[in-house]
Structure 1
Amino acid sequence: MLGAALPAVLLFRRFGLGAVLGYLLAGVLIGPQVLNVVGDADGKMGFAEIGITLLLFLVGLELNPRRLWDLRREIFGMGLAQVVLAGLTVTAVVYAFTGFTPAAALALGLPLALSSTAQVLPLLRSAGRLHTRFGERAFSILLFQDLSIVPLITVIAALSRAPADANAPPGWLLGLYTIGAIILLVLAGRFILSPALKLIGRLGEREMFVASGLFTVLAASALMEALHLSTALGAFVAGVMLADSPYRHELEADVEPFRSILLGLFFLTVGMLLDLSAIATRPLFVIGLAAALILVKTLVLYGIARIARMERRSAFALGLLLSQGGEFGFVLFGQAQTALLIKPEAASLFSAVVTLSMATTPFLMSLARRFGGEEAGAKLRGLAGPEEAEQAAAIVVGHGRFGQTVAQMLLAHGMSLTIVDLDTEIIDIGDRLHIKIYYGDGTRTELLRQAGAEEARLICFCIDGEQPDADTLRTIQKAFPHAKLFVRLFDRRHDLALRGIEMAGAVREVHESAVSMGRQVLETLGVEEAEMDRIEEDYRERDRRRLDAQHEEGDIRSARAMALMHRPGQLGVSLDEDEGTAM
């Protein structure tokens, strides 16, 4: 399964279509209906679903109870409205155009109202928008959708035509079980798990963090499953109860690889379970219903967002972002099939609708960025935009570790500053330290104009990653020709990509610190000051000449010989990009 996933995911990533579609295609190819090299897809789904629980655990780790309380209106307001309105509207569409019974249409329509947490959250995180006001609202709706799995399963069970399960508790008892289980998990986290993590941290046993993280997720999920509740809900609560733990980042780093692989296996298994013959007989139905699903959910979410006083562009972007079907739909279709509400062919057909709608997510995300007017949404939270800033001599874009140093040195010189950042957590930290940081995307020309860039002497881009790109800098340079541009470069590839752009200064983010550490190492070895100066000068000259050669030839692999720094007769050390360095 992993062997099939590797080329498929790499190919889909290469064309910007996302890993999820690569996993789905790989599952189809190795499944029983194409190559048939892997069997028992139903059995594999059991452990593959652990990937979803791990995803919800990691989401919970990012949300301490205080932040959850702050988002209560979005979660139980916008989230509830989206699930109910979109679910009933999609149910009406399914009933009107398919001929299913009302019970079957409801069992299909409600799951289609859910969106793909596994797709949307990583996209928001990689785009740096998860902690923006826009991202928080998208997350709140996704979170309520995940929490609604239990009531949706209850609805399907109430409509079931299958013989009643004598062991299943009644609905009112499930509600009490849910409250009791959450209280139990919170108490266990405070009085058992937190002291255990402190002990593990004191002993310094790294593998025990892995064991404790996985145990926490699996134990919480097993408890919920034993009570006939959502395993994903148990994992989420387990994450929330550890969100304030000082070992949160350790747990997150240790659990993430398991989450990635198991979530990939989940989508692989979904691809294996797709009934291609049922889809081939009605391809227009699948395409048409997928298009209708996207349209209906976009319009419903747009209306809800407008009622919540979101700006039009942001509301439309939110609708597009959450318009696809979600992975929990596959689970609920299975429940509907077990309840004898739909046939296996219908489950495969609607699974294909969800899959096709998920295939549009990368394109819809790209379109959503064009409509993502987040600054308007930011004002609803009380965040100041750069238009409120007084005219300053310099603009610093990005106030992370790098930007803080630049800003402090400029302030020490007595220079007036306007600081802009897109991360609301950084803005909150700045407020606590009495540092005014304005909210916004500092790579946008219009926002820089609002920040006073037309009269500023300097614009310093201190953003993490390979941004801004060459086109963005050219636009900014043309709009503000009197401002000197300084750019934090990610690595030499970023450096080469910006060659030809007139910048007053550019620094590769780890270059100078690496040179400084190299001098410290040489000093510890007893190397004389003059020799250290010679080595540093030689290294910088070689690096500069190599960059020039790579730029002229347009090839990162050019001038490899210049990267060999050694004395005659000693083994050379290659600094080629392909061999590991990104400096």
Structure 2
Amino acid sequence: MVGVSLHEVAILLAALAIAGPLARWLGISEVLGYLVVGMLLGPNTIGWSFSDYKAKEILHFAEFGIVLLLFLIGLELRPKRLWAMRYAVFVLGTEQVLLTGAALAAIGLLVGFSWQTALFAGLALALSSTALALQVMEETGDLNTRHGRLGFSVLLFQDLAAIPLIAFAPLFATTAVAAAAATTVQMDIISVLKGLGLIAVIVVVGHFVLDYALRLVALTRVKEAMTAAGLLTVVGVTILMQLAGLSASLGAFIAGALLAESSYRHQLEADIQPFEGLLLGLFFTAIGMTIDVRLLLDEPVIILTLVAGLVAVKAVILYVLGRWQGLEPGPARRLGIALSQGGEFAFVLFTVGYASGALTSENTELLTIIVTLSMAATPILLKIDSLLSRRRKGPAPAYDTPPDNDGHVIIAGFGRFGQIVARILTAKRIPFTALDISAEQVEFVRRFGAQAFYGDASRAEILEAADAHRARAFVLAIDDVEASMRTAELVRSKYPDLPVFARARNRNHAHRLLDIGVTNLQRETFLSSLDIAKQLLKKLGMSEREAGRIIHTFRTHDERRLVEDYKLASDLDKLRERARSDVKTLEKLFEEDAAEEARLRELGQAEEAAR
């Protein structure tokens, strides 16, 4: 950030440290918190910290956060999954951009824009904010839903659509620049073709080179080198894409997708995520700095009406497209609101449009503040939608009050796992108190005669009401890993003498439970997998005794390895080395067992012959 002093860097870091936590404490979006603090620090309000020039410099620097965000998203998308999304990306994305662009262009004509300016502005405004939409959907938990995946597909297409819009901006020129600008279109088309060729080169080279290069860096076992290599990958692809005049975020997404199958994916994600979060916070703060409050105060009715129009048009079109894709009204509405704002690429297009003669300076200033305010409106509208949805559903039922108990077992989580434990305890007439966070699940099992209580076992008052201080044992059967960990940590801190028997989703969950001292644990699919493997071995011709011995050997070895791997959990290289040697270790154990079995059989035959 050229020209930004150390004093100003300290102010920015303080703003980021305060705005996000304060927004979460107030129950609003972190993005909105960053926008507000940016507006307060910017040149258009109190203006005592950052000039307009510095605000733009910070914004330009912080845009790298969007690049890192797209890289991390790419890491999560396997090529097969990306191929499966092709319909939503290209069909749904095309429909959204064209329909929204046409509708907004019609509004532009009504406002008084020429048809060229109206069409260019409409298409630019049809693009949503990738950074804001993904950040807000992640905060609200929408990103992992079907409407969240459709939203991501649309955003991905919009990033692709920005490329030809930037290239063809001179075609929309209406000023004296038009004649000169039109002659550059052919060169721009050639640039686009070169850019597409560059994307193909990145895909081919990245597929064969990136993972190998990271493997060489990992062999050095220098953690900082791995972090630098990850950032260099993103920066290098970004530079190449910018040289070709293409979207840097698209290039980062491609680089991430190329490494989605890499064995270093998780390490890269862990190294880059802190930079991504910090730069995104800085990006939204810089967006807040650019809000021209004076222009808003001069023409508040016109600007707010246009912002409302932009948000309404985009939300309605996305709602209709979502319903057409089979979404229920609620998720379709969430999709529409999440992508209803203008995007960061609109700022780029406005700059290119002004330079090429497609927009005047007055148009550019007006459209810029409309986009910025629409971005600020998104988290507010999603919050309102959540509140209204909860009100329509009615208040959440009050937690049940379990009966007084002494010497009982508490079962946290009453799904399939917890119910099996409960049935055995019932048959042995051992008292228990079952808790589940889902009121629907509690009501469902009660209809079948099972006794459970609605309550969140990760809350101290619920455990107190369940008489945890008088319980004999605590069964942790919660399906959700994070909720399971919160509950385990609470039980271990408040009731250190209460034995905890935990269900672990996988090895990583098991290691996290071991971290806090929970040693009575069982991976949920482990024993059933061993049982089916034993049946398979018997079907393949082995005796009951031989199959049982093999399964016993494997179980003993794997449970010992689980504990040994836990000691090496922070050393990925050693874990990978152990995993590779595990097959040979098992083969050796099986051979030794077979030799021992043969020796015992021969000894038995000899004793039988001696008789």
Q: Does structure 2 conserve the Cα–Cα contact (< 8 Å) formed by 1:124 and 1:135?
A: yes
Query: 1:62, 1:54 → 2: CA distance?
Result: 13
Query: 1:265, 1:447 → 2: CA distance?
Result: 42
The answer for the alignment partner of 2:305 in structure 1 is 288
Cα pair distance change 1:397/1:195, threshold 3 Å: farther
Deviation at 1:36, TM superposition (A): 4.0
Written as runs of structure 1 = structure 2, the 5 A alignment for 1:88-99 is: 88-96=102-110, 98-99=111-112
Deviation at 1:456, TM superposition (A): 6.0
Match of 1:65 among 79, 88, 108: 79
Query: 2:460, 2:447 → 1: CA distance?
Result: 19
The answer for the alignment partner of 2:127 in structure 1 is 114
Deviation at 1:2, TM superposition (A): 2.6
The answer for the alignment partner of 2:220 in structure 1 is 203
Q: Does structure 1 conserve the Cα–Cα contact (< 8 Å) formed by 2:147 and 2:332?
A: no
Deviation at 1:452, TM superposition (A): 5.3
Written as runs of structure 1 = structure 2, the 5 A alignment for 1:145-156 is: 145-156=158-169
Deviation at 1:267, TM superposition (A): 2.5
Deviation at 1:339, TM superposition (A): 2.5
Q: By percentage of residues, which structure has more helix?
A: 2
TM-score computed with the length of structure 1 as normaliser? 0.66
The answer for the alignment partner of 2:49 in structure 1 is 37
TM-score computed with the length of structure 2 as normaliser? 0.63
Aligned length: 445
Question: Does 1:158 find its partner at 2:180?
Answer: no
Instruction: Please tell me the residue identity of whatever aligns with 1:455.
Output: F
Deviation at 1:368, TM superposition (A): 5.0
Query: 2:15, 2:518 → 1: CA distance?
Result: 45
Question: Does 1:455 find its partner at 2:448?
Answer: yes
The answer for the alignment partner of 1:21 in structure 2 is 32
Query: 2:251, 2:136 → 1: CA distance?
Result: 24
Q: Does structure 1 conserve the Cα–Cα contact (< 8 Å) formed by 2:172 and 2:357?
A: no
Match of 2:203 among 186, 208, 226: 186
1:148 counterpart SS class = helix
The answer for the alignment partner of 1:427 in structure 2 is none
1:515 counterpart SS class = coil
Query: 1:181, 1:515 → 2: CA distance?
Result: 52
**Cα shift readout 1:504-562 (whole Å, capped 9, x = no counterpart):** x99899788623579xxxxxxxxxxxxxxxxxxxxxxxxxxxxxxxxxxxxxxxxxxxx
Q: Does structure 2 conserve the Cα–Cα contact (< 8 Å) formed by 1:90 and 1:293?
A: yes
Query: 1:223, 1:78 → 2: CA distance?
Result: 29
Deviation at 1:221, TM superposition (A): 1.2
**Cα shift readout 1:439-472 (whole Å, capped 9, x = no counterpart):** xxx95545776x6553263669999x969998xx
Q: Does structure 2 conserve the Cα–Cα contact (< 8 Å) formed by 1:459 and 1:485?
A: no
Written as runs of structure 1 = structure 2, the 5 A alignment for 1:462-477 is: none
**Cα shift readout 1:320-369 (whole Å, capped 9, x = no counterpart):** 22222222222222222222333344333322222222223223324555
**Cα shift readout 1:58-109 (whole Å, capped 9, x = no counterpart):** 111111111111111111111111111112112211321x212222222322
List runs of 5+ in structure 1 lacking aligned partners: 374-393, 416-441, 475-483, 500-504, 519-583
Cα pair distance change 1:194/1:515, threshold 3 Å: closer
Cα RMSD of the aligned pairs, angstroms, is: 4.1
Written as runs of structure 1 = structure 2, the 5 A alignment for 1:542-557 is: none
The answer for the alignment partner of 2:330 in structure 1 is 313
List runs of 5+ in structure 2 lacking aligned partners: 1-11, 391-410, 427-435, 467-474, 495-499, 504-508, 521-611
Question: Does 1:141 find its partner at 2:154?
Answer: yes
Query: 2:19, 2:282 → 1: CA distance?
Result: 13
**Cα shift readout 1:24-82 (whole Å, capped 9, x = no counterpart):** 33333333333242242333333222121111111111111111111111111111111
Q: Does structure 2 conserve the Cα–Cα contact (< 8 Å) formed by 1:316 and 1:371?
A: no
The answer for the alignment partner of 2:506 in structure 1 is none
**Cα shift readout 1:367-396 (whole Å, capped 9, x = no counterpart):** 5558999xxxxxxxxxxxxxxxxxxxx996
Q: Percent identity?
A: 36
Instruction: Please tell me the residue identity of whatever aligns with 2:118.
Output: A
Deviation at 1:411, TM superposition (A): 11
Query: 1:73, 1:469 → 2: CA distance?
Result: 49
Cα pair distance change 1:512/1:191, threshold 3 Å: closer
Cα pair distance change 1:157/1:72, threshold 3 Å: same
Instruction: Please tell me the residue identity of whatever aligns with 1:16.
Output: G
The answer for the alignment partner of 2:471 in structure 1 is none
Written as runs of structure 1 = structure 2, the 5 A alignment for 1:401-550 is: 406=417, 410=421, 445-446=439-440, 454-455=447-448, 457=450, 490-491=485-486, 514-515=516-517
Match of 1:87 among 101, 122, 126: 101
Q: Does structure 2 conserve the Cα–Cα contact (< 8 Å) formed by 1:87 and 1:110?
A: yes
Question: Does 1:258 find its partner at 2:239?
Answer: no
Instruction: Please tell me the residue identity of whatever aligns with 2:26.
Output: F
Deviation at 1:241, TM superposition (A): 0.6
Cα pair distance change 1:280/1:395, threshold 3 Å: same
Q: Does structure 2 conserve the Cα–Cα contact (< 8 Å) formed by 1:300 and 1:319?
A: yes
Q: Does structure 1 conserve the Cα–Cα contact (< 8 Å) formed by 2:171 and 2:185?
A: no
Query: 2:501, 2:311 → 1: CA distance?
Result: 44
Deviation at 1:173, TM superposition (A): 2.2
Cα pair distance change 1:17/1:358, threshold 3 Å: farther
Query: 2:202, 2:455 → 1: CA distance?
Result: 42
Question: Does 1:359 find its partner at 2:376?
Answer: yes
Query: 1:507, 1:239 → 2: CA distance?
Result: 35
Question: Does 1:74 find its partner at 2:88?
Answer: yes
Written as runs of structure 1 = structure 2, the 5 A alignment for 1:236-255 is: 236-255=253-272
Question: Does 1:12 find its partner at 2:14?
Answer: no
Query: 2:58, 2:515 → 1: CA distance?
Result: 48
Match of 1:225 among 235, 242, 247: 242
Query: 1:267, 1:331 → 2: CA distance?
Result: 16
Deviation at 1:491, TM superposition (A): 4.1
Query: 2:81, 2:389 → 1: CA distance?
Result: 23
Cα pair distance change 1:282/1:205, threshold 3 Å: same
The answer for the alignment partner of 2:583 in structure 1 is none
The answer for the alignment partner of 1:338 in structure 2 is 355
Most deviating of 309-318 and 282-291 = 309-318
Q: Does structure 1 conserve the Cα–Cα contact (< 8 Å) formed by 2:319 and 2:335?
A: yes
Query: 2:118, 2:459 → 1: CA distance?
Result: 47
Query: 2:275, 2:191 → 1: CA distance?
Result: 30
**Cα shift readout 1:182-211 (whole Å, capped 9, x = no counterpart):** 221122222221111112222222111211
Instruction: Please tell me the residue identity of whatever aligns with 1:158.
Output: L
